[in-house]
Amino acid sequence: MKAALVLSVSLIGWTASAQDQLTPEERAKSTASSLMGMLGLDGEQAKAVSTELAVGEMEVAELRAQCDKYLAEIDARMAPHYQLAGKAMSPEQNEKFMMMVANGEMRCPPSGTGTARARAQTEQATPPTKEDKVNKTVPVKTKTAPKSTMH
């Protein structure tokens, strides 16, 4: 049991430290690469997206550092609770749960585009053809504000 706790905390720390090591340019390229698969961007589009995201990432680098610090603290504080929650699960469920924790999927919000779910979606995504891009219609959902009871 202690070995599992050490392993999960180590995995959490590894995930957080891997995120910390991305430069703004690397983060932008990673995001653009994910979007390329999810949205079917071509190489030119991906390059333009990456360039613009890199500018934005430079602007928020200090904020991301603070965010990473807080996420690491949250992970550390939640680790024993994840372990206790795992006791209510079957060994197979607990193993999957610990992998979700290690991949950052239990965070709110989950860790950016690096989550297992995002990677799976990217790997399963089939880039749209030119015809799909031209003929695609996107339904528009409109939110209406609740009616005021004050007159």
| pTM across the whole model | 0.46
pLDDT for 85-134, tens place per residue? Answer: 999 999 999 999 999 998 888 887 655 544 444 445 444 544 555 554 45
Cα dist from 94 to 8, 18, 47, 52, 88, whole Å = 11, 24, 40, 40, 8
- For the record, the structure tokens of 106 come out as 């239990």
Every domain of the chain and the residues it spans: 2-135
pLDDT for 2-16, tens place per residue? Answer: 545 444 444 444 444
